[in-house]
Amino acid sequence: MVAQIQTVSIKPDPKLVLPLPSSQGLVQIFTAPDRLFYVDVISQALRLGGQGTSVLIAQFFKGGISQGVEAPRRLGQNLQWVRCNLSRNIEADTELTDPECGAILDLWGYVKSVISKGTYELIILDELNLVLERSLVLESEVIDTLMSRSHKIDITLTGANMPSSLINIADQVTQRRR
């Protein structure tokens, strides 16, 4: 005996089809009382970049390799890592020179540009809080930039003692303890 299979085409009732919600990008903050390296954030960036997500890591107060926005480092196909064009790492209480302030503002301008263009799906901003603390950029400008981004972009902010204005707009805040 041979089994017969009959194929039936079923058209869904349009009244019963539920629309899928569009995915909204998140603003996540990882903060701690002291400056530290957020290994879990970097490992997530490497993993997502390896899986095809376009990722940018921007470090505002790390230098020492004279990198700058003109020479980002590419890690794999989808992850770019950029630091300010600084000849040294900047400590939290270090006095900045005019060229160092300029390098930090160049990086902020680059970050604003890629956010507005939607170039990356995940952008990690390391120590942007120190840029605000030193009044190099206004908090309102940062908030406007983050809030006007494409709904497809996830933003992760890392740094010690994050300002409450940024915490208030975040979708998720992870506070590390000592």
**pLDDT tens digits, 104-151:** 999 999 999 999 999 999 999 999 999 999 999 999 999 999 999 998
Inside any domain, residue 141: yes
Average pLDDT over the chain, rounded to whole?
A: 86
Structural domain of residue 104, as residue ranges? 27-175
7 found inside a domain: no
CA proximity to 115, closest of 89, 146, 141, 79: 146
Domain containing 147 — which CATH number?
3.40.50.300
Q: Is the pLDDT of residue 24 over 80?
A: no
Q: Classify residue 80: in a domain, yes or no.
A: yes
Question: DSSP strand E in the chain: where?
Answer: 27-32, 55-59, 73-75, 79-83, 122-126, 154-160, 172-175
List Cβ<8 Å contacts ≥24 apart for 89-94: 89/61, 89/62, 89/63, 89/64, 90/61, 90/62, 90/63, 90/130, 92/35, 92/61, 92/130, 92/160
- Integer Cα distance of 78 and 145 in angstroms: 23
pLDDT band for 61, please (50, 70, 90 cuts).
confident
- 4 inside domain: no
Instruction: Tell me, yes or no, whether 62 lies in a domain.
Output: yes
* Total domain count, the chain: 1
Query: Looking at residues 76-97, what average pLDDT do you find?
Result: 84
Minimum mean pLDDT range among 43-47, 70-74, 79-83: 70-74
Instruction: List the structure tokens of 86.
Output: 């600084």
| Residue 89: predicted pLDDT | 76
What is the C-alpha separation between 162 and 133, in angstroms, rounded?
9
Residue 68 has pLDDT above 90, yes or no: no
Asked whether residue 55 is domain-assigned, the answer is: yes
Q: Is residue 96 part of a domain?
A: yes
Residue 44 confidence (pLDDT) above 80: yes
Q: Is the pLDDT of residue 10 over 70?
A: no
Q: How far apart are CA 33 and CA 162, in angstroms?
A: 9
Query: What pLDDT was estimated at residue 18?
Result: 60
Residue 3 or 74, more confident: 74
Quick check: 176 pLDDT over 70? yes
Q: What is the model's pTM?
A: 0.82
Q: Which residue has the higher pLDDT, 91 or 131?
A: 131
Query: 56 in a domain, yes or no?
Result: yes
